[in-house]
Amino acid sequence: MSASNFNPALVPPGVGGPAPVTAPQAPQKPTAAPQGPAFGDILAKEASSLQFSGHAIQRLQKRGIELDAQTMQRLEGGVSKAAEKGSRDSVVFVDNTAFVVSVKNNTVITAMDRSHLREHVFTNIDSAVIA
């Protein structure tokens, strides 16, 4: 038998045949190191940053509620405190604004300023945080 017409499917198990013919391997080119932050760093940052639902964004715009860096920091701190206590859904008060937050999803559901807080009832929450 020549190597060109050897069919390994026709050889019974346990019987050796000629060594398989392999094509020569091309030398591998070294790959360049990826640029930018590592995937794990991006994932950790995104997982820790607070998200806003579409409804919350609409309410912020409609009610003229502006979020500066200090307010965001306090809001995120309040959500962190709620998470530490095992909360799932919380109301976080920052100055004159109430944020209803899904703590487990790290997402602001809605927001109300002082003028919209009157006669509103918060339901389906298990905690309140004053930040």
Mean pLDDT of 67-71: 91
- Burial of 110 per CB tally in 10 Å (0-12, 13-18, 19+): buried
Predicted pLDDT of residue 34: 67
Predicted pLDDT of residue 98: 94
Predicted pLDDT of residue 41: 67
pTM of structure: 0.64
List, edge to edge, every strand of the sheet that includes 89-94.
51-52, 107-113, 97-102, 89-94, 127-130
